[in-house]
Amino acid sequence: MLEIKNLHASIDGKEILKGINLNIEKGKVYAIMGPNGSGKSTLASVLAGNEIFSVSEGEIKLDGKDLLKLKPEERAAEGVFLAFQYPVEIPGVSINNFMKAAINEQRKYHGLEPIPAPDFLKLIKEKKELVELDKKLDGRSVNQGFSGGEKKKLEVFQMAVLNPKVAVLDETDSGLDIDALRIVANGVNKLKSSENSFIIITHYQRLLDYITPDVVHVLYNGRIIKTGDKNLALELEKTGYDELKKQADELYNK
């Protein structure tokens, strides 16, 4: 569904991604692990279309469509969802209005009329129940004064409403507590289907105690240096990244 081929990306003339190849299939959950500074968040940003990174080589295709030609909001409308590591607060904008605007922007992209009010209300009611979004958050401005856990819940709710083909969750270094991890994990486990896929970016394997990945990739120094199944994550938790890093450094003559 999502094909990444020989992706090179840089910032300020410094190459961060050095030839990433990934084949993301429908119905699967992928974990991308790796030491700090490997390029994990960069990969997420480049997928979402963050223009601070420049792509010098390679391709990203979603169901055959060239994502590199699309703006961030167009990629979102095509079904790429990026959960932000640091969610923004939007004072004065209620959750419902924010979601309505997001839905309608995507509908417009696909040549559809704005969502009829009854359909919208039904949809958000259903999804609020699914992700157990607290009633007390109704009417509040987006993320304003939210606890870490509430922000995560809102993010999972957004994901549920927008129903992306590929959701990228960058959880690295975000200092999530166990409750927040469970919220994210429950959300992913409820929302995953045979039609979508998830890319879970995580430094530690903690989150993977709650979400079982089908495939685990290790990213280091801008390259995928190892691929395995869920056992690879468990192994890394015991051994750390040092041995893999050494092998990769030798291979690429660093």
Ligand X SMILES: Nc1ncnc2c1ncn2[C@@H]1O[C@H](COP(=O)(O)OP(=O)(O)O)[C@@H](O)[C@H]1O
The footprint of ligand X (CB under 6 A) covers 11-12, 16, 34, 36-42, 52, 172
Q: CA–CA separation, 113 vs 239, rounded Å?
A: 54
Q: Please report, as a single letter, which amino acid is at residue 46.
A: V
| Part in contact with Mg ion (CB under 5 A); list of ranges 11-19, 104-112, 169-177, 240-248 | 169-177
Sheet with 54-62: list strands edge to edge.
14-24, 2-11, 54-62, 65-66
Residue 84 CB, nearest approach to ligand X (Å):
13
DSSP state of 234: H
- Which residues in 99-151 belong to E strands, given as ranges? 141-142
Select the residue interacting with Mg ion from 45, 172, 196, 205 (CB under 5 A): 172
* Residue 158 touches Mg ion, criterion: CB under 5 A: no
Query: What residues have CB less than 8 Å from 114, skipping those under 6 apart?
Result: 104, 107, 108
**Would you say 209 and 219 are in contact if contact means Cβ atoms under 8 Å apart?**
no
Residue 44 CB, nearest approach to ligand X (Å):
8
Residue 38 CB, nearest approach to ligand X (Å):
4
CB-wise, 2 or 16, nearer to ligand X?
A: 16
**Would you say 11 and 53 are in contact if contact means Cβ atoms under 8 Å apart?**
yes
CB-wise, 35 or 148, nearer to ligand X?
A: 35
16, interface contact from Mg ion, ligand X, none, CB < 5-8 Å by kind:
ligand X
CB-wise, 40 or 128, nearer to Mg ion?
A: 40
Residue 36 CB, nearest approach to ligand X (Å):
4
Q: The dihedral of CA 89, 94, 98, 99: what is its sign?
A: positive
Select the residue interacting with Mg ion from 10, 41, 96, 141 (CB under 5 A): 41
The values of phi and psi at residue 131, to 5°, are -95, 5
Give the footprint of Mg ion on this chain (CB under 5 A): 40-41, 172
